[in-house]
Structure 1
Amino acid sequence: MSAAALPAPPAMPAPATRLAWLDALRGIGSLAVVGEHMLPWFLPELRPFWFNLGIYGILVFFLVSGYIIPVSLERHGDVRAFWVSRIFRLYPLYLSVIVVMLAVSWWVPVREAVPRDGSAVAAHATMLLDVVSVGGVADTMWTLSYEMVFYLLVTALFLIGAHERSGSLSVLFAAGAVVVGLVASGAVLVGVWPAYVSCAVFVVGLACVMGGRLRTFCACALGVMAVVLLAFSSRVPWLGIAVVAVMFAGTAIHRWERGAGPLWPVAVTTALVVIAPVWAIESGWWWVRADVWLTTIALAGATFAGGMLLRGRRVPRVLVWLGLISYSLYLVHHPLLKYFVAVSGDLRAAEVPYQLVMIALAMALMLGLSALTYRYVEKPMQQLGRRVSDRGRRHRPGSGMAGRPPRHDEVLGHEERQVPGGVRHGDTVG
């Protein structure tokens, strides 16, 4: 995310090469998150404390999502097609993980952060978990909240023709993170009602956006709701706003690459995000100390810049493969680690050779299961989503997007098959 580390805009590489480096970054991000969650349970002595391995991976995911997701929407020229692809991309595996975790909750109970009432159902239905202060059934699901917020904002901005102001938006959100960090110690809107209200608005609003009736008005209403939730009902408001700033910075980098915008907003955003938690009232976690936070951001930015710099070269196939299964790996690894430890017992005091063997076994299980869920859950549902989207296009004379017809190209098809929603975010987030 550091502007100084980014290379000058080069000649555009071939689409396959360009997408390969994005896959590689997602692979790196997913491994970092797995490492953050695995090391404390298996080999705590190796866990780094001079930067946060998990936040580093998540920031890489968010930069990738910010870089590519708005472009996917713009190339579609069709909001309905965009949301069909997002829904079929995110929800099948997400719901599958929830069902499995609830089914085996008699063995490994669902964590206490998940409310035992209807608000949990409402929050999981929208994926707006963290921005309504509801814990996810799987610990890593919190990042999907910010992917969803970003989608809602990007949709509204695209419909009103403000989607090219990514640099200004990244600076605005970064400044908001600093301000909110100074004045808010946590959520202002508390209780179960933010989850219920946001679910109702989300369902009705998204139905209108996809159906075409009152599309722009409903998209703007969803965007406003997303910002309000982000600032007033998030579990950690400054962090949520900073995350959205990072995603818009990723978009600004893409526009700079295309010669459609300057790079200085990325530098300003980086500086503001770096100082956002320094005076934050709710700061107290080890990873928001100034030195750790700065190092984590610098490493994430350097990784993304390195990916851009090397994108014209061949990418290791293992990283590309990890990028393809990154959404599966991101969602399934933490539940699987819980089940693994429930069987193996506490490994923290075991002999190092035994710990290493168990790490290798756990990694094999996580990668194997992620490959299976990608092959038999993600990929078929993405293909189904494309068929649904194509069928919808054939039945409509135009896209309904600012008078522009839908556009198809080889690059977009590849992006929609491979870009995670979450990591990514979820990616992911995604």
Structure 2
Amino acid sequence: MSAPRLAWLDALRGIGALAVVVEHILPWFLPSLRFYWFNPGVYGILVFFLVSGYIIPASLERHGDVRAFWISRFFRLYPLYLAVIAVVLALAWWVPVREAVPRDGSAVAAHATMLLDVVSVGGVADTMWTLSYEMVFYLVVTALFLTRGHRRSGTLAIVFAAGAVLVGLLTPGAVLGGGWLAYASCAVFVVGLTCVVWDRFRTAAATVLGVMAVTLLVLSSRVPWLGVAVLAVMFAGTAIYRWERGEAGLWPVAVTAALVGITPVWAVMSGWWWVQAGVWVTTIALAGATFAGAMALRGRRLPKVAVWLGLISYSLYLVHHPVLKYVVEITGDLRARELPYQLAVTAVALVAVLALSALAYRYVEKPMQALGRRVSRQSRLQSAGEARVPPEHLGDDRVLGHEEGQVPDRVRDNVGD
């Protein structure tokens, strides 16, 4: 795959990551510069989820190797995730772990699966909530792939978008709750993925995992309509991929966007500013336009800084919020300070965030990704004689084989939450 082909995806990640950092810096560091005509944080997560929806099914379809896919996902996501958890817990004597995190085994179970938000458990680091929806998407896509239902991307996008509208009208919050959800989902997750990876009742296990993921999404998410809308956006990304390949039209994407645009009915009544009609629709439109613009430039060279930010975007996503908390703990409340001082502290904070994110990518992400590729190659050799789904799109390297999965942070008004 040529560098220009990869660059547009990395540029999108870099843009999304910066948008999320902006959303978290402005309220506490530069409140006088904050704007409300669109939400940078929501914009960032929509861009990231479109990227994941575009690339994840393509990666799985190319090789037809479910085991290699999950090995790759584990080494891509978990090492840095566990490292950040360790650091946050180690510094809890200074900046305490969030109140939203249960002080019992359910927190361990929820963190083990990454299904935090869909079992209504807060993450040790605030930024971990969107990983829940990435994991739900992986589970659903795996089930669809093994049951040969993965090519109906446009239909799935519309179904989830319509479901988001319905859920938004009927369920303002989680229907199911309690620590048992974290324990039960962890047990099913571990047993199910073991079966999937080691090819023991693989299709049945993947189907159970996919059904469990969607059930949790609808019945026990912190904000059910948002979770279902996220799945719609991700499948819209897949539908765009199919359109690019000439396999389908773009009309399902347009329908999905329209339905997602009218989804947050209950949220509007609850007074959340970022889902007011003007803000919500503008944010969606900007995210879509950004994705379309980057896609249009996919054959051209893009600014190196944008590509570099994309490479470190997963580290930036997990690292920046804890670092901002630590800076606020050192400097104190900046909101009443003079603007020059706020700007100076903001500059220092940004340098610290970028430097630590780059180090995390260099010494945690990159070597673990390399190890994952080696393990994945060995897995392919070992499973060469096993029955597996035939690969699709052989020889098409336009978007395949790239490391994806970065997602941005939850939209919050306070760094100190």
* Same-fold status (TM-score > 0.5): yes
1:420 aligned to 2:376?
no
Match of 2:149 among 150, 162, 177: 162
Mark the runs of 5 or more structure 2 residues left unpaired by the alignment.
412-417
User: 1:88 maps to what in 2?
Assistant: 75
Verify the 8 A CA contact 1:65 1:420 in the aligned structure 2.
yes
Verify the 8 A CA contact 2:221 2:227 in the aligned structure 1.
yes
1:350 Cα offset (Å):
1.4
Verify the 8 A CA contact 1:171 1:265 in the aligned structure 2.
yes
Distance in 2, matches of 1:311 and 1:409, equals 15
1:324 Cα offset (Å):
0.0
> Deviation digits for residues 346-385 of structure 1, max 9, x if unmatched?
1111121111111111111000000000000000000101
User: 1:10 maps to what in 2?
Assistant: none
User: 2:319 maps to what in 1?
Assistant: 332
Match of 2:125 among 124, 138, 162: 138
Verify the 8 A CA contact 1:18 1:311 in the aligned structure 2.
yes
1:398 Cα offset (Å):
3.8
Distance in 2, matches of 1:15 and 1:156, equals 31
User: 1:5 maps to what in 2?
Assistant: none
Distance in 2, matches of 1:406 and 1:394, equals 21
Task: Spell out the pairing of 1:393-408 with structure 2 (5 A cutoff).
Answer: 393-398=380-385, 400-403=387-390
Q: Which amino acid aligns with 1:310?
A: L
Distance 1:204 1:234, change over 3 A: same
1:344 Cα offset (Å):
1.1
Q: Which amino acid aligns with 1:51?
A: F
User: 2:304 maps to what in 1?
Assistant: 317
Verify the 8 A CA contact 1:398 1:404 in the aligned structure 2.
no
SS in 1 for 2:178: coil
Q: Which amino acid aligns with 1:344?
A: T
> Deviation digits for residues 26-83 of structure 1, max 9, x if unmatched?
0000000001011111001111111111000110000011011110111121000000
Task: Spell out the pairing of 1:19-34 with structure 2 (5 A cutoff).
Answer: 19-34=6-21
Verify the 8 A CA contact 1:65 1:424 in the aligned structure 2.
no
Task: Spell out the pairing of 1:232-311 with structure 2 (5 A cutoff).
Answer: 232-280=219-267, 283-311=270-298
Q: Which amino acid aligns with 2:20?
A: V
User: 1:6 maps to what in 2?
Assistant: none
User: 1:11 maps to what in 2?
Assistant: none
User: 1:3 maps to what in 2?
Assistant: none
Distance in 2, matches of 1:80 and 1:123, equals 23
1:235 Cα offset (Å):
0.4
User: 2:166 maps to what in 1?
Assistant: 179
Distance in 1, matches of 2:263 and 2:58, equals 28
Distance in 1, matches of 2:106 and 2:182, equals 5
Distance in 2, matches of 1:289 and 1:407, equals 45
Verify the 8 A CA contact 2:52 2:237 in the aligned structure 1.
yes
1:407 Cα offset (Å):
6.8
1:15 Cα offset (Å):
3.4
Distance 1:375 1:273, change over 3 A: same
SS in 1 for 2:123: coil
Distance 1:138 1:204, change over 3 A: same
User: 2:65 maps to what in 1?
Assistant: 78
SS in 2 for 1:315: coil
Verify the 8 A CA contact 2:174 2:220 in the aligned structure 1.
yes
Verify the 8 A CA contact 2:61 2:392 in the aligned structure 1.
no
User: 1:53 maps to what in 2?
Assistant: 40
> Deviation digits for residues 118-141 of structure 1, max 9, x if unmatched?
111110000000000001111110
1:264 Cα offset (Å):
0.4
1:97 aligned to 2:84?
yes
1:147 aligned to 2:154?
no
1:425 Cα offset (Å):
9.9
Verify the 8 A CA contact 1:76 1:408 in the aligned structure 2.
no
> Deviation digits for residues 131-172 of structure 1, max 9, x if unmatched?
000011111100000000000000000001111100000000
Distance 1:295 1:281, change over 3 A: closer
Distance in 2, matches of 1:40 and 1:57, equals 17
Aligned-pair RMSD on alpha carbons? Answer: 1.9
Q: Which amino acid aligns with 1:18?
A: R
User: 1:202 maps to what in 2?
Assistant: 189
Name the % identity.
72
User: 1:231 maps to what in 2?
Assistant: 218
Distance 1:74 1:423, change over 3 A: farther
Distance in 1, matches of 2:269 and 2:99, equals 21
Q: Which amino acid aligns with 1:389?
A: S
1:397 Cα offset (Å):
2.3
Distance in 2, matches of 1:307 and 1:409, equals 20
1:406 Cα offset (Å):
12
Task: Spell out the pairing of 1:314-393 with structure 2 (5 A cutoff).
Answer: 314-393=301-380
Mark the runs of 5 or more structure 1 residues left unpaired by the alignment.
1-13
Distance 1:26 1:424, change over 3 A: farther
Verify the 8 A CA contact 1:123 1:134 in the aligned structure 2.
yes
Equivalences, count: 411
SS in 1 for 2:402: helix
**TM-score, length-scaled by structure 1:** 0.92
1:65 aligned to 2:52?
yes
Distance in 2, matches of 1:270 and 1:309, equals 19
Distance in 2, matches of 1:132 and 1:244, equals 16
Distance in 2, matches of 1:230 and 1:239, equals 9
1:399 Cα offset (Å):
5.5
Verify the 8 A CA contact 1:119 1:195 in the aligned structure 2.
yes
Q: Which amino acid aligns with 2:52?
A: S
Distance in 2, matches of 1:224 and 1:425, equals 25
User: 1:40 maps to what in 2?
Assistant: 27
SS in 2 for 1:163: coil
305-314 vs 230-239, greater mean Cα deviation:
305-314
Q: Which amino acid aligns with 1:44?
A: P
1:311 Cα offset (Å):
1.8
Distance in 1, matches of 2:176 and 2:409, equals 27
